[in-house]
Amino acid sequence: MLEKTLVILKPCTIQRALVGEIIRRYEIKGLQIIGMKMVWLTDEKLSEHYAHLKDRPFFQRVKNSMMTTPVVICCLQGVDAVHTVHTMAGATNGRNAAPGTVRGDYCMSTQSNIVHTSDTAENAAVEINRFFKPEELFDYQLAFFDYLYANDEF
């Protein structure tokens, strides 16, 4: 079963000109980009997105950092996409992230940690709906799809 997940390429990724490099990693893995756009996030949208952090002392700092530049928001699809993308991101604190993960290879920070990724299928569905309209997601077949999975994996 194909699954959808959300990735936000954070302002630190934009400022360090890593957008193409990070997206390339997902594509090489075999994940399909079915939606992608650049947007300025608002305080309102970030308050909704980070509502689970609202009582934390760093809540406003996180929101402020996410509004310093536009971000690139992607919807990726693949078998076990949520788990795969979240695992590829690595530990939240880049100093603790394993080499080979996005954060392990590209960051030294907890906050400026390159990407946000959905952590569960339920959260992915909510986050995708938060950032994408249905008409902004595309259903198409990759030419090499039959070479990504065994026929009993999807």
Task: Encode the chain (154 residues) as per-residue pLDDT tens digits.
Answer: 899 999 999 999 999 999 999 999 999 999 999 999 999 999 999 999 999 999 999 999 999 999 999 999 999 999 999 999 999 999 999 999 999 999 999 999 988 999 999 999 999 999 999 999 999 999 999 999 999 999 888 7
Task: List the domain range (segments joined by +) for residue 10.
Answer: 2-41+67-136
Structural domain includes residue 154:
no
Say which amino acid occupies 81: A
The CATH number of residue 126's host domain is 3.30.70.141
Sheet bearing 71-79, strands edge to edge: 32-39, 71-79, 2-9, 115-117
Give the Cα separation of 51 and 123 in Å (integer). 12
Q: State the total domains in the chain.
A: 1
Both structure tokens of 87: 């695992």
Structural domain includes residue 97:
yes
Give the Cα separation of 154 and 152 in Å (integer). 6
Indicate yes or no: pTM above 0.85.
yes
Structural domain includes residue 51:
no
Structural domain includes residue 111:
yes
Helix, strand, coil in percent for the chain, rounding step 5: 40, 20, 40
Structural domain includes residue 153:
no
Q: Is 128 helix (H, G, I), strand (E, B) or coil?
A: helix
Structural domain includes residue 115:
yes
pLDDT, position 135: 98
pLDDT, position 143: 94
Structural domain includes residue 56:
no
Does residue 85 contact residue 8 with C-beta atoms inside 8 Å? Answer: no
pLDDT, position 88: 98
What amino acid positions are annotated as catalytic residues? 116
Q: What is the per-residue DSSP string for 142-153?
A: -TTGGGTS-TT-
Structural domain includes residue 104:
yes
Listed residue (36, 28, 40) closest to 5, CA to CA = 36
